[in-house]
Structure 1
């Protein structure tokens, strides 16, 4: 595990520091109303509530807001593993696949449970000058626990100056 992960986790779990982090680094997520439902080394859940600001003309959540929330659920886990690493590790979404199962209304929580795989992949990137890739999944569920969307991201990681 990244020895700096606990420091990053403290930022994400503190409501004030999290809002500042999101406003500074992910301003669109700030305005869309994304928040952290849970966060640890293994999983991250991102909450988003349907509002006038993030809805489409059909009174459901705009697909881009869903994509943003699901990317954040995976990205926070990845960012926690690259946070303050030496050498620094770059991360980038290479590919996104999405399946929309049900209309997204109310409160949706997008959860990624691939934290351990992300940790291992970042560690591998530090040892491999070519970098590494990993597919991770995030699933969005409504308040009834029903799946509304499934996303698969391919993330790439590469250590800088190797």
Structure 2
């Protein structure tokens, strides 16, 4: 699969339907950054009139995971990936359109290259920042990814 926003959104529909139906969409992906958006609406709300934290986590994780998937594909190797840990901080109610940006793609590429060269599993943290339409930060999510080469 060629990594594009359109193809990743198709992937969501078939492989992560809960994220797709909650409105999570990839808007842009490049080597270093990935941008994912989700709009607060009835299907993804919490009882407090804002976006449910798990929907924010789906969008934030996708912004990091899409970069990892992209660099794994670019490596041409069979590599497994898994979220080992995550940390979240919520600083403001998430209402309206929330944009998650991860700019750690080059870190993912470097770590995947290390896994290929050493044959050993590697872990690394990637950060995604969620902001509202006013540019105010509503959440920060960090995901620890584990990658390792698969035996042929």
Bin the TM-score by the shorter chain: over 0.9
Q: 1:13 aligns with which of 5, 25, 35?
A: 5
CA contact (8 A) 2:38 2:97 kept: yes
CA contact (8 A) 2:9 2:26 kept: no
Matches within 5 A, 1:17-56: 17-56=7-46
Unaligned runs of at least 5 residues, structure 2: none
CA offsets, 1:22-81, max 9 Å, x none? 112222111111112221111001000001000001110000000000000000100101
Residues 57 and 100 of structure 1, relative CA distance in 2, 3 Å threshold? same
Which sits farther off after the overlay, 69-78 or 122-131? 122-131
Take 1:84 and 1:117, find their aligned partners in 2: how far apart are those partners? 14
Cα RMSD for the two superposed structures? 1.5
TM-score for both structures, normalised by structure 2: 0.94
Take 2:18 and 2:111, find their aligned partners in 1: how far apart are those partners? 27
CA contact (8 A) 2:99 2:131 kept: yes
Matches within 5 A, 1:74-153: 74-83=64-73, 85-153=75-143
Which sits farther off after the overlay, 25-34 or 53-62? 25-34
Moved beyond 4 Å, runs of 4+: none
Size of the aligned set, in residue pairs, is 152
Take 1:113 and 1:119, find their aligned partners in 2: how far apart are those partners? 12
Take 1:130 and 1:37, find their aligned partners in 2: how far apart are those partners? 33
**How many angstroms does 1:85 deviate by?**
4.8
Which sits farther off after the overlay, 54-63 or 21-30? 21-30
